[in-house]
Amino acid sequence: MGGDEFLFNRLWGAQTQRSLQNSEIGGERERMHEPIIRSFGILKKCAAKVNMEYGLDPSIGKVLMEAAQEVAEGKLNDHFPLVVWQTGRGTQSNMNANEVTSVFFITQQHIILIINHGGERLLQIERLKFSATNVVISLCIQMTM
């Protein structure tokens, strides 16, 4: 991941930070709208619940649902810095939601973040991707209508 600059007072990770650095368009006015961010929380909470029904450890699932609820209630809006102008199908915003949820999960579980020499946060985010990227943004937009 190289020399990416991370802000350790934020819940987003490398993918979101790269998107911020690579897409300097729109500014604050063009940030993802709060109702869409909240719908990410609802969707992630539902995904965690369904995945618990299919074998996800409830101790993980419940904390993920708690994190998603925080997003749904708008309590973590400051951790969603991306603008609406993105490539693809909103993959960057979906990753932003995954990163925020996973870092919230890690901090709630009091798991020590491992920081390597380059300053990267090493997260097991792969375990926390519970929804298909290609449909997430479409669902979130529909949920806000």
Q: Which two tokens stand for residue 100?
A: 């925020």
Length of the chain: 145
pLDDT one-digit tens code per residue, 14-73 = 888 888 888 778 788 888 999 999 999 999 999 889 989 988 888 888 888 999 999 999
32 near 83, Cβ under 8 Å? yes
Cβ-count burial 100-122 (b if 16+ within 10 Å, e if not): bbbbbbbeeeeeeeeeeeeebbe
pLDDT at 129: 59
Supply the CATH number for residue 65's domain. 1.10.275.10
CA–CA gap between residue 117 and residue 134 (Å, rounded): 34
Report yes or no on 3 lying in a domain. Answer: no
pLDDT digits (tens, 9 = 90+) for 116-128: 434 444 444 555 5
The answer to whether residue 5 sits within a structural domain is: no
Helix (H, G, I), strand (E, B), or coil: what is residue 36? helix
Is 118 inside a domain boundary?
yes
Q: Which domain holds residue 118?
A: 14-144
- Domain count along the chain: 1
